[in-house]
């Protein structure tokens, strides 16, 4: 059979990307990227009049349609591949990113009567306006006796679907009432191009508490959260769930025309963007762990058994790779934290020196940091610049840097921040190991994995585990393409299993990072002190971080 190809669409926080990929070997024939016209809406709605509160992060769904149409047409044209050779398309998307739509699938924010209503827009994954609603859920869960309590992960994050829906009910009930569905943006897009009302098992399982064995929580649970949620699943969600790697529908005539593809092309169920990186990194079996290090980090490993607790979620079997539970956690800030320091805390002379050496300031300061011995700076960072996922699951916790003196140098702070994120990563890995997981190798991807060898070697030394780097620097989009190849099936030139697609379409780079035993031992005692800080400044320890956040936001009384 002639070569066949698939398209993977990756929708990130600031832009969307399309890849056209060979099913035979994963070769990327063409790639196209487009930034969202409205980027992240954080201060004012597009009307430039309606002001948003703090901790809000919205988007305009029209941006997603523009990205999809433009990038798909670009990769088809650039590749020179005939559209009859393109056998599948699949989407990955940031999550939990939700929006309310009407019965015709039109987002409420795209209707004139709702364009001034913040809750009618897409709530991006990092929207933290629902923290108070998450607190309510967690309070109720303390006394919840349901046999399915394990599905909630021990503590609920404000980033999940239900807290965001509760926020809509609390602040603009009419938007909730008028919405025919409230769904993930990835599910909305597959519905737009196929007409299907099915939802992805990936997003339903990890962000909306759906389990393949028993479905969503019983209605009584939702009623306990808010009496208006009694019929939430039936009225706003629906229970027609499509497994990952399967076709959620066929490309419609209308959208086939817009994308210049063949009508009836299989469309795979949407997948959480970080989850798509699992097959895109070459992970399909136990003993492997995915580490994505970019602005934030994602850590996922496969298991025969479920686990839920301490900010780690892994109770949805088959949510990423059929037949396996996938345990997931990560850090809420990594590259974002380093970029913050470079922009706010690095003096001008460092920028000048970097320019003289024809390198970025990150490269320059990383080289200086690499010359330091372990512990030389006397610094220890608690890496909560954007809140904490494991073990406290609290977006209101903040970062700490200990040990500074009048002699402290920027490169020492920079290294301490890298080490802090490495300690946070090790805490997650150790927690997973305690649940019975075996980790033999880590496959890393993301901007930092491809650009900063100093960072990666520190991670290998702190973790004490070999780190390989995925061959592709676009693992999420490649993963989406792999799901598309599986949805198409072997009969059309794809694959009948995700495992077969992964083996054929991925690989790792020659250069990896092996831990140095002496350095791993040297990091041990500092890591122990990091763990002491995590416990002391967490929710059950010293509450100063919560008080500071309350004072900053105006919720607290400084006199108390």
Q: Which residue in the block uniquely carries the two structure tokens 């496959």?
A: 443
pLDDT, position 219: 81
Inform me whether the pLDDT recorded for 317 exceeds 50.
yes
User: Considering the chain, what is the average pLDDT of its residues?
Assistant: 94
Residue 343 pLDDT class (50, 70, 90 cuts):
very high
pLDDT, position 385: 95
Inform me whether the pLDDT recorded for 550 exceeds 50.
yes
Q: What is the pLDDT of residues 390-427, one digit of tens each?
A: 999 888 899 999 999 999 999 999 999 999 999 999 99
Q: What is the pLDDT of residues 228-264, one digit of tens each?
A: 998 999 999 989 999 999 999 999 999 999 999 999 9
Write the CA distances from 106 to 133, 167, 178, 207, 550, integer angstroms. 27, 21, 12, 22, 37
Tokens of 227: 């009496």
Q: What is the pLDDT of residues 23-42, one digit of tens each?
A: 999 999 999 999 999 999 99
Write the CA distances from 264 to 2, 7, 9, 193, 285, integer angstroms. 20, 14, 18, 10, 32
Q: What is the pLDDT of residues 113-172, one digit of tens each?
A: 999 999 999 999 999 999 999 999 999 999 888 878 888 877 788 999 999 999 999 999
Buried b (16+ CB within 10 A) or exposed e, 183-211: bbbbbbbbbbbbebbbbbbbbbbbbbbbb
DSSP-derived 3-state class of residue 236: helix
Inform me whether the pLDDT recorded for 558 exceeds 70.
no
Tokens of 446: 């993301």
pLDDT, position 238: 87
| Helix, strand, coil distribution of the chain in percent, nearest 5 | 40, 20, 40
* Full-model pTM: 0.88
- Smallest CA-to-CA distance from 17 within 33, 36, 29 is with 33
Sign (positive or negative) of CA dihedral 387, 98, 206, 31: negative
Which residues, 6 or more positions from 356, have their beta carbon under 8 angstroms from its beta carbon? none
| Beta-carbon count within 10 A of 170 CB | 16
DSSP-derived 3-state class of residue 476: helix
DSSP-derived 3-state class of residue 411: helix
**Torsions phi, psi for 370 (to 5 deg):** -65, -25
Q: Classify strands 297-303 and 325-329 as parallel, antiparallel or unpaired.
A: antiparallel
Q: What is the pLDDT of residues 472-523, one digit of tens each?
A: 989 999 999 999 999 999 999 999 999 999 999 999 999 999 999 999 999 9
Span between the terminal Cα atoms of the chain, in Å? 75
Contact (CB, 8 A) for 59 and 243: no
Q: What is the pLDDT of residues 359-390, one digit of tens each?
A: 999 999 999 999 999 999 999 999 999 999 99
- Smallest CA-to-CA distance from 160 within 199, 197, 205 is with 205
- Domains assigned to the chain: 5-125+175-207+242-282+475-505 (3.30.420.40), 335-469+516-553 (3.30.420.40)
Inform me whether the pLDDT recorded for 545 exceeds 70.
yes
Residue 560 pLDDT class (50, 70, 90 cuts):
very low
DSSP states of 503-537 as a string? HHH--B-S--BPPPHHHHHHHHHHHHHHHHHHHHT
pLDDT, position 556: 62
| Beta-carbon count within 10 A of 14 CB | 11
Contact (CB, 8 A) for 7 and 34: no
Residue 93 pLDDT class (50, 70, 90 cuts):
very high
Q: What is the mean pLDDT of residues 61-89?
A: 98
Q: Which residue in the block uniquely carries the two structure tokens 């936001």?
A: 553
DSSP single-letter state for residue 215: B
Contact (CB, 8 A) for 399 and 407: no
pLDDT, position 557: 56
Q: What is the pLDDT of residues 266-286, one digit of tens each?
A: 999 999 998 999 999 999 999
Q: Classify strands 439-445 and 467-469 as parallel, antiparallel or unpaired.
A: parallel
């Amino acid at each position: 059979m002639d070569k066949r190809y698939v398209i993977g669409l990756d929708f990130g926080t600031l832009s969307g990307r399309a890849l056209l990929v060979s099913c035979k070997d994963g070769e990327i024939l063409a790639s196209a990227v487009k930034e969202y016209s409205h980027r992240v809406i954080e201060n004012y709605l597009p009307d430039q009049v309606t002001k948003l509160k703090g901790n809000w992060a919205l988007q305009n769904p029209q941006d997603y349609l523009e990205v999809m149409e433009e990038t798909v047409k670009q990769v088809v044209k650039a590749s020179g591949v005939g559209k009859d050779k393109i056998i599948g398309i699949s989407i990955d998307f940031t999550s939990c990113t939700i929006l309310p739509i009407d019965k015709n699938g039109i987002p409420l924010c795209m209707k004139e009567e709702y364009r001034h209503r913040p809750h009618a827009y897409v709530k991006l994954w990092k929207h933290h306006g629902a923290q108070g609603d998450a607190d309510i859920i967690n309070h109720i869960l303390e006394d919840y006796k349901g046999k399915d309590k394990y599905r909630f992960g021990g503590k609920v994050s404000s980033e999940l679907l239900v807290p965001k829906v509760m926020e809509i009910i609390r602040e603009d009930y009419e938007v909730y009432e008028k919405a025919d569905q409230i769904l993930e943006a990835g599910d909305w897009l597959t519905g737009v191009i196929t007409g299907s009302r099915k939802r992805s098992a990936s997003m339903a399982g990890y962000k909306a508490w759906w389990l393949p064995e028993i479905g969503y929580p019983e209605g009584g649970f939702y009623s306990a959260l808010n009496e208006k949620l009694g019929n939430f699943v039936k009225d706003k969600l629906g229970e027609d769930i499509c497994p990952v790697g399967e076709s959620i529908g066929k490309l419609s005539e209308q959208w086939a025309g817009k994308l210049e593809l063949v009508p009836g092309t299989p469309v795979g169920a949407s997948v959480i963007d970080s989850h798509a990186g699992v097959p895109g990194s070459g992970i399909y079996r136990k003993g492997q762990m995915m580490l994505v290090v970019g602005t934030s980090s994602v850590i996922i490993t496969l298991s025969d058994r479920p686990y839920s607790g301490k900010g780690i979620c892994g109770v949805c079997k088959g949510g990423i790779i059929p037949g396996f539970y996938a345990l997931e956690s990560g850090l809420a800030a990594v590259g974002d934290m380093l970029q913050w320091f470079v922009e706010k805390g690095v003096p001008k002379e460092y920028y000048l020196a970097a320019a003289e050496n024809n390198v970025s300031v990150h490269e320059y300061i990383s080289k200086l940091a690499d010359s330091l011995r372990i512990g030389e700076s006397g610094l220890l960072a608690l890496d909560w610049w954007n809140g904490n996922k494991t073990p406290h699951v609290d977006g209101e916790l903040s970062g700490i840097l200990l040990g500074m003196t009048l002699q402290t140098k920027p490169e020492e702070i920079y290294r301490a921040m890298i080490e802090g994120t490495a300690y946070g990563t090790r805490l997650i890995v150790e927690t997973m190991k305690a649940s019975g997981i075996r980790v033999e190798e880590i496959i890393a991807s993301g901007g930092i994995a491809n650009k900063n060898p100093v960072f990666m070697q520190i991670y290998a030394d702190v973790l004490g585990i070999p780190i390989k780097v995925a061959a592709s620097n676009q693992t999420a989009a490649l993963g989406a393409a792999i799901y598309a190849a599986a949805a198409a099936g072997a009969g059309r030139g794809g694959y009948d299993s995700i495992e077969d697609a992964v083996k054929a379409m991925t690989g790792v780079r020659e250069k990896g990072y092996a831990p140095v035993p002496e350095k791993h031992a040297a990091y041990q005692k500092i890591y122990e002190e990091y763990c002491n800080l995590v416990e002391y400044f967490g929710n059950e320890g010293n509450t100063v971080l919560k008080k500071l956040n309350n004072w900053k936001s105006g919720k607290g009384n400084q006199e108390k």
